[in-house]
Amino acid sequence: MVEVLIEEGIENAVYAALIAVAPASVGVFQHVPSNRGPDYIVIGKIDAENLGSKGEVDARGQFEIACFHEGPARSGLWALMRIAFNALHDQLLTADGVHLGRCHWAASASDHDPEAETDNVRYLGLMIFEISAEPAE
């Protein structure tokens, strides 16, 4: 049950950090939206692992950020990934019920969707971040 609290806290903190800096033209979602425009960011998979000793919770969380861009060039994807990186990497995030440490970028990858049914190319960027967390007392 504690892992759920930590994962929910991470999701809420990440959403607040992204929504605070994303331009109005870029959607930020906690789920994959249906029929969304060309540029948006989605909070993906969230995992928490307890590293504490018996009876203590000292968790390491890991979460994915997916950036979607549709256009003639990959530069729009880089802009979205830069928004996410600047909002999250080396930042102290906050959420009710959880003490969070600094968030750190761990990895990223990008690719295009060869099956996009559009005149433009659809690009996807996936970023992985890590953060320490423990329940607030």
**HSE (side-chain half, CA atoms, 13 Å) at 132:** 7
Which residues, including other chains, have CB under 8 Å from residue 21's CB and lie 6 or more apart? 83, 86, 87
Rounded distance between C-alpha atoms, residue 101 and residue 7, angstroms: 14
Q: Calculate mean pLDDT across residues 32-54.
A: 85
* C-beta of residue 10 within 8 angstroms of C-beta of residue 98: yes
Q: What is the predicted pLDDT for the residue at 119?
A: 67
Percent of the chain with pLDDT over 70: 89
Per-residue pLDDT band at 117 (split at 50, 70, 90) = low
* C-beta of residue 2 within 8 angstroms of C-beta of residue 51: no
Quick one: which of 46, 10, 8, 15 has its CA closest to 30? Answer: 15
Percent of the chain with pLDDT over 90: 64
* CA 70-33-86 angle, 5° bins: 65
In the chain, where the domains are located: 2-135
Query: pLDDT averaged over the chain?
Result: 89
Residue 55 has pLDDT above 80, yes or no: no
Q: What is the predicted pLDDT for the residue at 42?
A: 97
* 121 vs 107 pLDDT, higher one: 107
Tokens representing 113? Answer: 């969707």
Whole-prediction pTM: 0.89
The structural architecture, per CATH, of the domain 2-135 is 2-Layer Sandwich (3.30)
